[in-house]
């Protein structure tokens, strides 16, 4: 049997693995049973639906179709990352901008230099990997920025009261958030090939491509992901910084508890 031709019966054989995860979570009383089942069902349904759409795109899509699909991925990724950092004002819009800033320059650069062919079967999977990496970095950055403000508000306001500019007052916390967001991408790049064979390389090898050719593709992919994560994390930190602070009055914006989620007012110590 062809090793690359997996049947639906073989896919069904993996379903008990979800049962193992559900049983382990239930035994530990983690409260994640419903989430695990929902995630497994959604993954199968979403992948099946996307697979059908991709068949059409690969067969008929022109450049406009590729760009449209990338735009949809960016919008969805922005919503997901924005939910992680919802304590930051306009988090979803900021997340979408940050993800686009991290992903699009990388994809455009490699397309211009001829590394990526402008074909649906190339651009869509690669774009998905890049956007997903930028999404994860953005979500973690926004979450950590909000946590840093919440945990270190007195220290930040003290610096502002002593006359320190907003950028300098928040700089240590912004750097901490970006470092945390970039650690997964950095660690993955460090151990690639030693601890894991990533998806692109594994897929090519399974498809029968020479390992050295697969390695060349994987090196390009890892560099793309590292660049996308760094650009997205730094951009989201910058945007979150300007959303959380009034840089003119040198004040910290905080959520208005009485007004509910999403309402923000200016509060803080005026710089003298």
Q: Does residue 111 sit in the same domain as residue 38?
A: no
**Number of structural domains in the chain:** 2
Task: Render pLDDT for 106-120 as a digit per residue (tens, 0 to 9).
Answer: 999 988 988 888 888
Q: Does residue 156 sit in the same domain as residue 222?
A: yes
Average pLDDT over residues 81-89: 86
Average pLDDT over residues 97-109: 94
Q: Does residue 55 sit in the same domain as residue 154?
A: no
45-53 LR contacts (CB < 8 Å, sep 24+): none
Lowest mean pLDDT among 132-141, 186-195, 237-246: 186-195
What is each CA distance from 144 to 30, 44, 159, 160, 168, in whole angstroms? 24, 31, 20, 21, 18
For residues 134 and 105, the answer to whether their CB atoms sit within 8 Å is no
Q: Does residue 70 sit in the same domain as residue 53?
A: no
**CATH code assigned at 141:** 1.20.1640
Does the pLDDT of residue 171 top 90, yes or no?
Answer: no
Q: Does residue 180 sit in the same domain as residue 113?
A: yes
Lowest mean pLDDT among 15-24, 143-152, 192-201, 243-252: 192-201
pTM score > 0.95 for this model? no
Average pLDDT over residues 191-213: 71
Q: Considering the chain, what is the average pLDDT of its residues?
A: 81
pLDDT confidence of 161, banded at 50, 70, 90?
confident
Q: Does residue 48 sit in the same domain as residue 152?
A: no
Q: Which residues of 245-256 are buried (b: 16+ CB within 10 A; e: fewer)?
A: beeeebbbbbbe
Q: Does residue 73 sit in the same domain as residue 208?
A: yes
In a domain, 1, yes or no: no
pLDDT confidence of 81, banded at 50, 70, 90?
very high
Does the pLDDT of residue 96 top 90, yes or no?
Answer: yes
Predicted local distance difference test score (pLDDT) of residue 24 = 92
Task: Render pLDDT for 47-69 as a digit per residue (tens, 0 to 9).
Answer: 888 888 777 777 776 778 888 88
In a domain, 192, yes or no: yes
Does the pLDDT of residue 213 top 60, yes or no?
Answer: yes
Give the Cα separation of 138 and 95 in Å (integer): 6
Does the pLDDT of residue 271 top 60, yes or no?
Answer: no
Share of the chain above pLDDT 90, in %: 27
Q: Does residue 92 sit in the same domain as residue 27?
A: no
Domain of 54 in residue numbering reads as 9-60
Predicted local distance difference test score (pLDDT) of residue 199 = 67
Does the pLDDT of residue 132 top 90, yes or no?
Answer: yes
């Amino acid at each position: 049997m062809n090793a690359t031709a997996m049947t639906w019966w073989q896919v069904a054989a993996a379903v008990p693995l979800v049962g193992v995860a559900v049983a382990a979570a239930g035994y530990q009383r983690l409260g994640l049973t419903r989430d695990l089942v929902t995630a497994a069902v959604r993954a199968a349904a979403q992948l099946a639906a996307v697979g059908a759409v991709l068949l059409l795109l690969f067969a008929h899509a022109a450049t406009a179709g590729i760009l449209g699909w990338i735009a949809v991925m960016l919008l969805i990724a922005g919503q997901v990352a924005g939910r992680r950092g919802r304590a930051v004002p306009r988090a979803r819009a900021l997340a979408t901008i940050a993800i686009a800033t991290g992903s699009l320059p990388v994809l455009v650069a490699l397309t211009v230099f001829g590394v990526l062919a402008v074909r649906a079967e190339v651009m869509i999977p690669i774009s998905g990997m890049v956007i997903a990496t930028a999404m994860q970095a953005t979500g973690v950055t926004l979450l950590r920025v909000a946590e840093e403000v919440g945990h270190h508000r007195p220290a930040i306001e003290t610096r502002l009261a002593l006359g320190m500019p907003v950028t300098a007052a928040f700089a240590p916390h912004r750097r901490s958030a970006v470092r945390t967001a970039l650690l997964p991408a950095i660690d993955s790049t460090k151990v690639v090939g030693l601890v894991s064979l990533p998806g692109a390389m594994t897929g090519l090898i399974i498809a029968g491509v020479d390992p050295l050719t697969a390695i060349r593709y994987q090196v390009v992919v890892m560099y793309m992901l590292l660049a996308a994560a760094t650009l997205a994390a730094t951009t989201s930190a910058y945007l979150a910084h300007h959303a959380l602070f009034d840089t003119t009055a040198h004040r910290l914006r905080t959520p208005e508890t009485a007004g509910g989620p999403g309402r923000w007012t200016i509060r803080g110590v005026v710089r003298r």
